[in-house]
Chains A and B, each alone.
Chain A
């Protein structure tokens, strides 16, 4: 049988997706499903984070979008009793509006000052959640965020039971795939070229007629919307959210995922997120050593792999090449 290798990547992707869809068939272990769900949601966040960094903005307020999505959706569901699906969507819209309002003044500012503005806006929101007891629950945050109600799909006789993690698993998978498809289409389109141009030199980009503010805000808004939807989903999944969950440390963690995976490739944040979350779960038995091993991993990758883990094959093949040359030279001198 002959296989056309031009479609190898597509075939692999389909197989991987099929395997992911089959995971809940083989295991309904809540712990494993939880890890999978967390990985899916984190991939949404780290991919959108990478997309903003990709346009050359050193952005430190990603957690502001995530927190805003989670908080606004939860507050709407608790105080106004809107349907949960509408709440999640409105959470995303809140993030979008916030990103546009922040983006127009902040994206004019360069480098470190932009980082400080985005970080500071996240902190302002966090203090607002802490301060406002009525919709946001104050320092202890919101608990008992409603989960979707059980329902039965007619004709199939299939009951969706939200107390198991299986529906969340599929929902998170679908959200992640949707996000990745949107980002992929954006990255490899004409817009992606414009974003590259803005990263490489925004003044040059402006001089060839690109309205750089519009595209910067566009990236900011799209990524904020997707990240906020992820955050809103996370809020309803975890059923609680507190101001301590939305500190700048989350943003820095996402940055670590992106940089460890590889910031130059689309698959970088995906690989980085999977590796880092799995690593942190594997290390979690050792109280102090956990953070030490974890941070040693970050230092190691930063130091030795310039393109992150996705560049590992390249680094290895370079080393093998060098080794072979060395050996060959040794043979020559002996002969």
Chain B
């Protein structure tokens, strides 16, 4: 029985971890490349989940096609946001953050207005389950973990192995020197918005069949994302993954064995003390 609970909790922790990791990766891209605390990230996640619900449950489109439409649509929205709102005030950290806060609240309340107050649910896409040590694991959860890990791996390859990724890293090192080498700041900014928002959209798309879909799902998720990048360290993909793993498993095991309320407090206490001792996260770059 205990083994069953352990396996179940582990898989739940893994699902939570990849959720946190996908959200935190987008945020850490925004923060380290553009120096933007991108608050509307949470509502991007919410919009992706809702569009999955509408496309595949209400309109009956195939799940994978619907996923591609949702991610592409949000990427276009990201380009519009970047060109219309963020480019004119780039560089002013406080204003950019509170612009994001306004946007997040706007999108969230629009979400309430359009999608209603009731939480929505979606049927599982990967049907069936397996039985390990008396615990029932749905293929859906395992598939979510695998797909997310693949996406994170691909992102790491993109940043480290391609010319565009190299350009992004150059821009982070020194924007002016990068501009002298022909790397356009505006293109890098657009690329960052597309990548970051696509990651949030991917999280929404993947987790729509696992969690409840509500208009208020975005803001708590974004706060978790900030915690993860604080713990893992800014500007590093392995750091974000590690931070997400630690927080996901702490939440999952703590929630099962200690109770969610105490866990919440202890996790915050742990992070505050950790950051006071090591003020650049686990694997953060010292800048």
Q: How far is the CA of A306 from the CA of B92 in the complex (A)?
A: 9
B85 and A299 form a contact (CB under 8 A): yes
Q: A130-B261, A288-B112, A295-B106 are in contact. Are A252 and B276 (CB under 8 A)?
A: no
B93 and A58 form a contact (CB under 8 A): yes
Q: How many residues of A contact B (CB 8 A)?
A: 42
Interface residues of B in 63-97 (CB under 8 A from A): 85, 88-89, 92-95, 97
Q: Which residue of B lies closest to A305 (CB)?
A: B95
Interface residues of A in 85-121 (CB under 8 A from B): 105-106, 108-110, 112-113, 116-117, 119-121
B109 and A113 form a contact (CB under 8 A): no
Q: How far is the CA of A117 from the CA of B268 in the complex (A)?
A: 9
Q: Give the residues in chain A near B99, CB-CB below 8 Å.
A: 298-299, 302-303
Q: How far is the CA of A248 from the CA of B113 in the complex (A)?
A: 24
Q: Give the residues in chain B near A259, CB-CB below 8 Å.
A: 94-95, 98
Q: How far is the CA of A125 from the CA of B251 in the complex (A)?
A: 19
Question: Which of B7-15, B16-24, B186-194, B222-230 lies at the interface with chain A?
Answer: B222-230
Flag whether A53 is at the interface (Cβ < 8 A): yes
Q: How far is the CA of A298 from the CA of B102 in the complex (A)?
A: 5
Flag whether B105 is at the interface (Cβ < 8 A): yes
B276 and A131 form a contact (CB under 8 A): no
Q: Is the interface of A mostly helix, strand, loop or mixed?
A: helix
A291 and B105 form a contact (CB under 8 A): yes
Q: How far is the CA of A119 from the CA of B230 in the complex (A)?
A: 11
Flag whether A184 is at the interface (Cβ < 8 A): no
Q: How far is the CA of A128 from the CA of B261 in the complex (A)?
A: 10
B106 and A299 form a contact (CB under 8 A): yes
Q: Give the residues in chain A near B93, CB-CB below 8 Å.
A: 58
Q: A112-B234, A124-B269 are in contact. Are A298 and B279 (CB under 8 A)?
A: no
Interface residues of A in 285-334 (CB under 8 A from B): 288-292, 294-299, 302-303, 306
B272 and A120 form a contact (CB under 8 A): yes
A112 and B94 form a contact (CB under 8 A): no
Flag whether B195 is at the interface (Cβ < 8 A): no
B276 and A106 form a contact (CB under 8 A): yes
- The answer, among B95, B104, B272, for a CB contact under 8 Å with A124, is B272
A109 and B275 form a contact (CB under 8 A): yes
A292 and B95 form a contact (CB under 8 A): no
- A and B contact pairs by CB, cutoff 8 A, 30 listed: A58-B93, A105-B276, A112-B37, A113-B230, A117-B272, A120-B227, A120-B272, A121-B268, A124-B269, A126-B265, A130-B261, A130-B265, A252-B101, A255-B101, A259-B95, A259-B98, A288-B113, A289-B109, A291-B108, A292-B113, A295-B106, A296-B106, A297-B102, A298-B101, A298-B102, A302-B95, A302-B99, A303-B88, A303-B89, A306-B95
| B37, B94, B262 — most chain A CB neighbours (10 Å) | B94
How far in angstroms is the closest Cβ of chain B from A7? 35
Flag whether A202 is at the interface (Cβ < 8 A): no
- The answer, among A109, A124, A290, A295, for a CB contact under 8 Å with B265, is A124
Q: Which 4 A-B pairs have the closest CB atoms?
A: A127-B265, A298-B102, A116-B230, A295-B105
How far in angstroms is the closest Cβ of chain B from A108? 7
B261 and A255 form a contact (CB under 8 A): no
Q: Which residue of B lies closest to A290 (CB)?
A: B109
Flag whether B172 is at the interface (Cβ < 8 A): no
A120 and B271 form a contact (CB under 8 A): yes
Q: How far is the CA of A113 from the CA of B261 in the complex (A)?
A: 24
Q: Give the residues in chain B near A292, CB-CB below 8 Å.
A: 106, 109-110, 113
Q: Give the residues in chain B near A106, CB-CB below 8 Å.
A: 276
Flag whether A263 is at the interface (Cβ < 8 A): yes
Q: Give the residues in chain A near B261, CB-CB below 8 Å.
A: 127, 130-131
Q: Give the residues in chain A near B262, CB-CB below 8 Å.
A: 127, 131
Flag whether A256 is at the interface (Cβ < 8 A): yes
Q: Which residue of B lies closest to A104 (CB)?
A: B276
Known: A119-B226, A298-B102. 10 other contacts (CB 8 A): A58-B94, A113-B280, A120-B227, A120-B275, A124-B268, A256-B98, A288-B112, A291-B109, A295-B104, A296-B102
Flag whether A123 is at the interface (Cβ < 8 A): yes
Flag whether B31 is at the interface (Cβ < 8 A): yes
Q: Give the residues in chain B near A117, CB-CB below 8 Å.
A: 272, 275-276
Q: How far is the CA of A292 from the CA of B265 in the complex (A)?
A: 32
Flag whether B264 is at the interface (Cβ < 8 A): yes
Q: How far is the CA of A108 from the CA of B109 in the complex (A)?
A: 38
Flag whether B281 is at the interface (Cβ < 8 A): yes
B265 and A131 form a contact (CB under 8 A): yes
Q: How far is the CA of A112 from the CA of B38 in the complex (A)?
A: 13
Flag whether B183 is at the interface (Cβ < 8 A): no
Q: A131-B261, A259-B95, A303-B88 are in contact. Are A116 and B102 (CB under 8 A)?
A: no
Flag whether B210 is at the interface (Cβ < 8 A): no
- The answer, among A58, A108, A131, for a CB contact under 8 Å with B279, is A108
